[in-house]
């Protein structure tokens, strides 16, 4: 029997790491990608000590176009059933104070790498039953947050791209399912990176938030559902599964 793999980018910490653990507990074979090779190897050792899954780790900087292309090429020998585009980052500051290199890197990682990998995956697996693409967006992809305008804009792209791609595949009767996860505040190192500080006290910063483990559970719930969007409600921090939010105009089957 051919082994099938779940690919997770940004797997060395946060939601990606927790999702890797959850998938492995379900017996899934994993290909885990991130820049932090040491953290990936540590996670691989941890998972192999308690699961029978095959764990492959790949150190890659997905903000660099050539490495994105090489990463996709390296997956050619594997049969993929689920692809989770989770890698991304934000910076918390006003647009006028933001470093242009940070903006460029954010666009390269949050948008360009995600689109490249999504497009390649769809082209190869669109008619393979049981396959799923999950792009990890954000509540910021459905709301514009103060001092996160560029990040919000990058995630609005992810939201529109993913919802549109899901609809496109649906109307053309392809088998691949496309979904988007839109978390709110999650207790990871994301906020510390965004604020350029060593740590963030989430209890003091946010009235409500989720843990990475909770969000990983939501991700698996989304994957196992027939819905396109798994979104956190900002006011109540509840999680809901819906068909999507954006109005879809003019979609007709081209088959």
Residue spans of the domains in the chain: they are 4-242
Show the CA angle centred on residue 126, arms to residues 249 and 171, nearest 5°. Answer: 25
Average pLDDT, the chain: 95
DSSP the chain: ---EEEEEESTTSHHHHHHHHHHHHTT-EEEEEES-HHHHHHHHHHHHHH----EEEEE--TTSHHHHHHHHHHTTTSEEEEEEE-------S-GGGS-HHHHHHHIIIIIIIHHHHHHHHHHHHTT-TT-EEEEE--GGGTSPPTT-HHHHHHHHHHHHHHHHHHHHHHHTT-S-EEEEEE--SEESSHHHHHHT-S---HHHH-SS-EEHHHHHHHHHHHHTSS-SEEEE-TTT--EEEES-SS---S-----
Residue 254: pLDDT band (50, 70, 90) is low
CATH superfamily label, 4-242: NAD(P)-binding Rossmann-like Domain (3.40.50.720)
Tokens (6 digits) for 145: 């947050």
Catalytic residue among 5, 125, 142, 151: 151
Residue 191: pLDDT band (50, 70, 90) is confident
Query: Is 202 an active-site residue?
Result: no
Contact 244, 166 (CB under 8 A): yes
pTM of the model: 0.95
Residue 132: pLDDT band (50, 70, 90) is very high
pLDDT tens digit string along 133-151? 999 999 999 999 999 999 9
- Number of Cα atoms under 13 Å in the Cβ half of residue 161: 24
The rounded distance, in Å, linking the Cα atoms of 191 and 193 is 5
pLDDT tens digit string along 25-54? 999 999 999 999 999 999 999 999 999 999
How confident is the model at residue 75, as a pLDDT?
98
Q: Is the pLDDT of residue 109 over 80?
A: yes
Place of tokens 């992810």: 158
The rounded distance, in Å, linking the Cα atoms of 186 and 164 is 26
Catalytic residue among 28, 58, 91, 155: 155
Contact 60, 71 (CB under 8 A): yes
Q: Is the pLDDT of residue 211 over 70?
A: yes
Query: Is 78 an active-site residue?
Result: no
Strand partners, 231: 182, 240
């Amino acid at each position: 029997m051919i082994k099938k793999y779940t690919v997770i980018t940004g797997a060395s910490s946060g939601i990606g790491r927790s999702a890797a653990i959850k998938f492995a507990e379900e017996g899934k074979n994993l290909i885990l990608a991130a820049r932090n090779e040491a953290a990936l190897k540590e996670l691989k050792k941890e998972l192999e000590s308690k699961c029978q899954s095959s764990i492959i780790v790949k150190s890659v900087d997905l903000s660099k176009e050539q490495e994105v292309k090489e990463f996709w090429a390296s997956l050619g020998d594997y049969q993929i059933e689920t692809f989770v585009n989770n890698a991304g980052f934000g910076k918390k500051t006003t647009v006028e104070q933001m470093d242009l290199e940070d903006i460029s890197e954010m666009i390269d990682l949050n948008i360009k790498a995600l689109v490249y990998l999504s497009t390649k995956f769809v082209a190869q697996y669109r008619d393979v039953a049981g396959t799923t693409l999950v792009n990890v967006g954000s509540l910021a992809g459905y709301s514009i947050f103060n001092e996160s305008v560029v990040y919000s804009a990058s995630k609005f792209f992810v939201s529109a791209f993913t919802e549109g791609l899901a609809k496109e595949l649906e109307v053309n009767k392809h088998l691949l399912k496309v979904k988007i996860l839109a978390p709110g505040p999650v207790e990871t190192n994301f906020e510390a990176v965004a604020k350029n500080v060593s740590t963030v006290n989430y209890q003091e910063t946010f009235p409500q938030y989720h843990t990475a483990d909770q969000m990983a559970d939501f991700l698996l719930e989304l994957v196992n559902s027939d819905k396109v969007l798994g979104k956190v409600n900002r006011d109540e921090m509840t999680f809901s599964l819906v068909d999507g939010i954006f109005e879809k105009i003019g979609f007709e089957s081209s088959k």
